[in-house]
Amino acid sequence: MVRKQSIIFSGLLAAICFYSCATIITGKQQLLYIVSNPPGASIRVDRITINKVPIESPNDSISTTVETPIIKKIIPDTTILGITPCFINVRRPLKDSLKITLSHPNYQPNTQILKPRFNESAGLNFIIPWNWMIDAMTGSLMRYSLPDTFVLKEIKKTQ
């Protein structure tokens, strides 16, 4: 009887300790380390959101929903700017992608779209189901994965 109570108590204690794990472990924001080759490139980060817009056919009998990308600016209504190498702090969204553009004099600009991926630390939420809701509301279910280095190509000079 005592063993059964201690197992139940241990299970409840573990459930409380792992309460919304992804939010606690990784936070509501993600720190991105951006490196370029060559260093010293300027960074511009824009947020891309997918809005569903209803489109009706000419005969108005069929209505469909189409996803159209709309570029928005990042927190707080300004674009994040910086010089590589640097750290950039962005909030974790569920569906938004990030468009990172690096530019350097005498080099072609490099643009990468970072799409959100599942945050593995959210997998610890299997203990209590409502933890998924907490992580979903804070955006901690998703994360961005960066390429190792942004490589800029040199502009060929014509003589």
Number of domains observed in the structure of the chain:
1
User: Which pLDDT score is estimated for 54?
Assistant: 52
User: Which pLDDT score is estimated for 143?
Assistant: 81
Is the pLDDT higher at 115 or at 27? 115
Structural domain span for residue 11: 2-48+75-151
User: Which pLDDT score is estimated for 154?
Assistant: 76
Q: Is residue 101 part of a domain?
A: yes
Q: Is residue 158 part of a domain?
A: no
Per-residue pLDDT averaged across 95-99, rounded?
A: 79
State yes or no: pLDDT of 113 exceeds 70: yes
Q: Is residue 64 part of a domain?
A: no
pLDDT tens-digit readout, 36-74: 888 888 888 887 776 555 555 555 555 555 555 554 444
Confidence of residue 75 (pLDDT cuts 50, 70, 90): very low
Q: Is residue 140 part of a domain?
A: yes
Is pTM, for the whole model, over 0.85?
no
User: Which pLDDT score is estimated for 84?
Assistant: 84
| DSSP letters spanning the chain | -HHHHHHHHHHHHHHHHTTTHHHHHH-SEEEEEE-EESS--EEEEEEEEEEEEEEE-TTSS-EEEEEEEEEEPPTTTS-EEEESSEEEEEE--SS-EEEEEEE-TTB--EEEEEPEEE-GGGGGGGSSTHHHHHHHHHTTTEEE---S-EEPPBPPPP-
pLDDT tens-digit readout, 10-25: 776 666 655 556 666 6
* 74-88, 106-120, 145-159: least confidently modelled range: 74-88
Q: Is residue 56 part of a domain?
A: no
Q: Is residue 62 part of a domain?
A: no
User: Which pLDDT score is estimated for 135?
Assistant: 76
Mean pLDDT of the chain: 72
